[in-house]
């Protein structure tokens, strides 16, 4: 049976992840893989309700972190683990690195306590009882906070996070950089300050380096898919 793959996309709001997530899912489907495309917070009916609370209701950092991990536990048990057990490719728009970056670096919540919650929530869900479930690869869209703010300025009505000031996103961006430095084998840095086409090429290269996608001659880019 094919081994499941768990890939997360990360980066500050407006880094440009969404433009490439569906394109990557399609690239895997084109090579015969079944893909579960999901997101955090969210991905199950319960976790989507928690997402609405987290993105729109005022709360303190501990409540925010607990909601993020409660939603994650339900998502892991109901969706991610079963899909990996079936040998699927799970592509998740954000996972635990977002909690370390936003609630940890952004809000200032204690990183040691987040690590304890991470262990509690992400252990015991996989067939291997002591495995801490983490993505096999995290695509980190690295973009300066000022550029992301320019991109988002006209894009949409901001939620509780998108409405935060530039300094918040500068801290979140540093939080991601710290996570990537601590686990370089798991992270692929994507220079997101580039054209959509150049960013897509980096995404494909990261997959090819892992041996998960063959070099795809004539594969549609995120750009050409949008135009189709």
Ligand X SMILES: Nc1ncnc2c1ncn2[C@@H]1O[C@H](COP(=O)(O)OP(=O)(O)OP(=O)(O)O)[C@@H](O)[C@H]1O
Give residue for tokens 């993105």: 55
**The dihedral formed by the CA atoms of 155, 38, 122 and 137, expressed in degrees to the nearest 10:** -80
Candidate ranges 17-25, 52-60, 77-85, 182-190; the one touching ligand X (CB under 6 A)? 17-25
Q: Reduced to 3 states, what is the DSSP secondary structure of residue 42?
A: coil
Based on the shown chain and the rule CB under 6 A, indicate whether residue 68 belongs to the binding site for ligand LXEULUCI: yes
What burial class does residue 196 get, using C-beta atoms within 10 Å of its C-beta: 0-12 exposed, 13-18 middle, 19+ buried?
middle
Partner whose binding site includes residue 15, from ligand X, ligand LXEULUCI, none (CB under 5 to 8 Å by kind): ligand X
Contact residues for 182 (Cβ-Cβ < 8 A; gap 6+): none
Closer residue to ligand LXEULUCI (CB): 53 or 216: 53
Residues in 175-214 at the binding interface with ligand X, rule: CB under 6 A: 195-196, 199
- Residue number closest to ligand X, CB atom: 16
Which of 33, 151, 174, 220: binder of ligand X (CB under 6 A)? 151
Q: Cβ 13 to ligand LXEULUCI, closest distance in Å?
A: 5
* Nearer CB in complex with ligand X: 155/208: 155
Query: Is residue 11 marked as binding?
Result: yes
Nearest to 201 by CA among 5, 20, 41: 20
CA–CA separation, 205 vs 180, rounded Å? 18
Binding site annotation covers 15? yes
Q: Name the β-bridge partners of 187.
A: 138
124 annotated to bind ligand: no
**Which of 16, 164, 155, 45 shows the shortest CA–CA distance to 101?**
164
13 is in an annotated binding site: yes
Q: Which stretch binds ligand LXEULUCI (CB under 6 A): 26-34, 99-107, 126-134, 216-224?
A: 99-107
Q: Closest distance between ligand LXEULUCI and the C-beta of residue 94, in Å?
A: 4
Quick check: 179 binds ligand LXEULUCI (CB under 6 A)? no
List contacts with ligand LXEULUCI (CB under 6 A): 13, 39-41, 55, 68, 93-94, 98-99, 102-103, 161
């Amino acid at each position: 049976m094919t081994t499941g793959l768990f890939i997360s996309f990360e980066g500050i709001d407006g880094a440009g992840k969404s433009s490439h997530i569906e394109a990557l899912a399609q690239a895997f489907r084109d090579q015969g893989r079944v893909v579960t495309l999901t997101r955090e917070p969210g991905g199950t009916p319960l976790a989507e309700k928690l997402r609405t609370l987290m993105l729109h209701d005022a709360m303190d950092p501990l409540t925010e972190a607990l909601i993020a991990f409660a939603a994650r536990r339900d998502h892991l048990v109901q969706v991610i683990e079963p899909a990996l057990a079936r040998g699927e490719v799970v592509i998740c728009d954000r996972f635990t690195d977002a909690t370390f970056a936003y609630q940890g670096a952004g809000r200032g919540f204690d990183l040691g306590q987040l690590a304890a919650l991470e262990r509690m929530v992400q252990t015991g869900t996989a067939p291997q009882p002591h495995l801490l479930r983490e993505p096999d690869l995290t695509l980190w869209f690295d973009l300066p906070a000022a550029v992301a703010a320019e991109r988002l300025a006209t894009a949409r009505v901001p939620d509780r996070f998108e409405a935060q000031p530039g300094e918040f996103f500068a801290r979140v961006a540093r939080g991601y950089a710290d996570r990537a430095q601590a686990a370089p084998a798991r992270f692929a840095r994507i220079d997101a300050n580039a054209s959509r086409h150049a960013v897509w090429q980096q995404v494909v290269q990261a997959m090819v380096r892992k041996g998960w996608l063959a070099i795809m001659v004539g594969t549609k880019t995120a750009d050409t898919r949008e135009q189709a």
